[in-house]
Chains A and B, each alone.
Chain A
Amino acid sequence: MNLIETKGLAKQFNETAAVKDLNLSVREGACTALLGPNGAGKTTALNMLTGLMKPTQGTIHFHANYPGDRREYLGYLPQHPKFFGWMSGLEYVTFAAQLAGLEKEEAIARAKEMLDLVGLTDNRAKKTAGYSGGMKQRLGIAQALVHSPKMIMLDEPVSALDPIGRREILELMKELKKRTSILFSTHVLHDAEEVSDDIYIMKKGEVVAEGSLVSLQEKYRQPAIVIETERNLADWAQLIEDKAWLRHMKTEETKATLTVENIENARTELLNDASLQQLNIVKFEVMKTSLEDLFMQVMN
């Protein structure tokens, strides 16, 4: 069952078409990722779904089981969540719960529960003005969840965080998947692959690929060869750049990942490449890439 469905959703800012003809559906109970580089239109799309922006064209349907103001069933974490600095974390989440209609006692109890879930119990009495970036992100998730929404929308929930903070939020999202549907945006393929069930890859306002993670991985999986050498292989890499069988190559010093058209051709040619052998091969592996190749094409 689809919780939310858009048809031909579009947003135009003067000259810029931020989102074009977006047909998005989020399944109940699934975690859906909007993946795309900066400026792809992810934030604009989410803002239209919450109702904070009015679409230039198109429609948004929320499931008929949940009638009325769809904000009642949505929780939203903006890309840069901002709080009233003079409130404590607990005060803010309680305030958010009461805005969504919870009675005071219930609101406080729920707020405490959510702060516990995101790991802010020890800091809940502290003014939010003194919160770090990671704490604000977690507080933002707590306030989004506090009225038990059917779906939460998280705009780049891990982008501003250091690796540890990133890890924590991703783990939390895996936990949250059990309670509520999630729609989140990211510009990092790895984040999308790690937690999502469905993926929409966006570029310049348009969806360029969509489907379940598994089906996309199947569809776009490409044969690839990983080569590791003792010497730096940057110069050699330039020699083979224009080969017809090479789709895409990523090199870092002594390691190269080559996505190729035809694995047989590539293997034969590479193994017979004298200049490559001079670099002292330490590893030669044939494998299949995930969405990396597709994503690199989108990003460039």
Chain B
Amino acid sequence: MQQWKVLFRKELKESLRNYKWLWIPVVFVLLGITQPLTSYYFADIIEQFGALPEGAIVDIPPPTSAEVLAGTLGQFNQIGLLVLVLAFMGTVAAEKNDGTLIMVLAKPVAHFNYLTAKWVHVLVLAVSSFLLGYAAAVYYTILLIGSISFSQVVISALVYCLWLCFVMTLAVCLSALLNSSGLAAFATLATALILSIASIYAPDLVKGSPGMLTVYSEQYLYAGEPEDGFWLGVIVTAGLIFIMMSAAIYLFKNQEAAKNAG
């Protein structure tokens, strides 16, 4: 446990020194604020700057709070996720390639500690950034658009968090198993994309898929009650996170740490 804390603190310090703990939350808050603001001022903006024919009446029905927050989740799922994956694609792979990993593993370091310390740190940063951004979005939405029930907001946020954790777990695992940061990022984003597409085009076929969590989280905002398949998705995703992490630790341990190409 002592060793785990040392490794976790190293991750934390590193991300504080390179400002990841500042800029990533700021990006999420900006994304969170922008969506309600643009929704609110949308009509105004069109009226002022849009190339509408003289005398045209702008009549767009104002969006509901649920719609605005669902839109925000959509933003998080595109720019937010992209930023998080790219920011952490090298968390292990880069240390392998620059030679710092063998310096660490030459000490009596347990592979489990090394990998889970990184994993927990990445999840804490990702979830904190998301929650901050989402809180800002909720605040602006209530202020500008209208109120929404507390439980709807919280449960949709929790479900979305689980999806985020799934994607970031995949990113950390692939970073540990592949030798290239870029490849790890690409494979993670491709998987996320395929899961999302499947959940849009064939939701009935993939009820338990992690990709459905974004759908469930948005639907909870609208309906205020769990959709059919909601719990299945939650359980399957949590299980997959556990399996991916266990497999990654096992494979990472059996990997040759030193590459030494002559």
A and B touch in the complex (CB under 8 A): yes
- Given A44-B260, A52-B256, A54-B256, residue A82 in contact with residue B103 (CB < 8 A): yes
Count A-B pairs with CB separation below 8 Å.
Answer: 70
> How many angstroms between the C-alpha atoms of A34 and B246 in the bound complex?
39
1/0 contact string of B229-262 vs chain A (CB within 8 Å)? 0000000000000000000000000001110101
CB under 8 Å from chain B, chain A span 72-104? 72, 74-76, 78, 80-84, 86, 95-96, 98-101, 103
- Given A84-B100, A95-B10, residue A69 in contact with residue B260 (CB < 8 A): no
1/0 contact string of B97-109 vs chain A (CB within 8 Å)? 0111011111111
With an 8 A cutoff between CB atoms, is A71 at the interface?
yes
Q: Which residue of A has the minimal Cβ distance to B97?
A: A82
> How many angstroms between the C-alpha atoms of A38 and B98 in the bound complex?
22
Query: Are the C-beta atoms of B106 and A83 separated by less than 8 Å?
Result: no
Query: Are the C-beta atoms of A96 and B258 separated by less than 8 Å?
Result: no
Query: Are the C-beta atoms of B103 and A81 separated by less than 8 Å?
Result: yes
* Most chain B CB neighbours (cut-off 10 Å) among A52, A78, A101: A52
Whole-angstrom distance between the Cβ of B254 and the nearest chain A Cβ: 8
Query: Are the C-beta atoms of B103 and A72 separated by less than 8 Å?
Result: no
With an 8 A cutoff between CB atoms, is A214 at the interface?
no
> How many angstroms between the C-alpha atoms of A54 and B256 in the bound complex?
7
- Given A47-B258, A78-B99, A82-B99, residue A99 in contact with residue B109 (CB < 8 A): yes
Q: Which residue of B has the minimal Cβ distance to A82?
A: B99
CB under 8 Å from chain A, chain B span 197-219? none
Chain B interface extent, by class: 20 to 34
Query: Are the C-beta atoms of A78 and B107 separated by less than 8 Å?
Result: no
Chain A residues, Cβ within 8 Å of B106:
50, 52, 71, 74-76, 78
> How many angstroms between the C-alpha atoms of A34 and B65 in the bound complex?
72
Q: Which residue of A has the minimal Cβ distance to B10?
A: A95
Main secondary structure of the interface of A (DSSP, over half): loop
- Given A43-B260, A99-B6, A101-B3, residue A78 in contact with residue B103 (CB < 8 A): yes
B102: contacting residue among A78, A84, A103, CB under 8 A: A78
Chain A residues, Cβ within 8 Å of B227:
none
Chain B residues, Cβ within 8 Å of A147:
107
Query: Are the C-beta atoms of B103 and A47 separated by less than 8 Å?
Result: no
> How many angstroms between the C-alpha atoms of A13 and B100 in the bound complex?
23
Chain A residues, Cβ within 8 Å of B104:
99
Chain B residues, Cβ within 8 Å of A211:
none
1/0 contact string of B6-42 vs chain A (CB within 8 Å)? 1100100010011000000000000000000000000
Chain A residues, Cβ within 8 Å of B103:
76, 78, 81-83, 96, 143
Whole-angstrom distance between the Cβ of B114 and the nearest chain A Cβ: 9
- Given A47-B258, A52-B258, residue A100 in contact with residue B107 (CB < 8 A): yes
Whole-angstrom distance between the Cβ of B97 and the nearest chain A Cβ: 10
With an 8 A cutoff between CB atoms, is B2 at the interface?
yes
Whole-angstrom distance between the Cβ of A187 and the nearest chain B Cβ: 13
> How many angstroms between the C-alpha atoms of A20 and B260 in the bound complex?
17
> How many angstroms between the C-alpha atoms of A8 and B175 in the bound complex?
35
Query: Are the C-beta atoms of B100 and A82 separated by less than 8 Å?
Result: yes
Q: Which residue of B has the minimal Cβ distance to A155?
A: B260
Whole-angstrom distance between the Cβ of A126 and the nearest chain B Cβ: 15
Query: Are the C-beta atoms of A53 and B108 separated by less than 8 Å?
Result: no
- Given A54-B256, A71-B107, A71-B108, residue A39 in contact with residue B100 (CB < 8 A): no
Chain A residues, Cβ within 8 Å of B109:
71, 99
Q: Can you show 14 pairs from A to B with CB atoms below 8 A apart?
A: A44-B260, A52-B256, A71-B107, A71-B109, A75-B106, A78-B106, A80-B99, A81-B99, A82-B103, A86-B17, A86-B18, A95-B10, A143-B103, A147-B107
Q: Besides the contacts A43-B260, A99-B108, what 4 more A-B pairs have beta carbons closer than 8 Å?
A: A47-B258, A53-B257, A76-B103, A78-B102
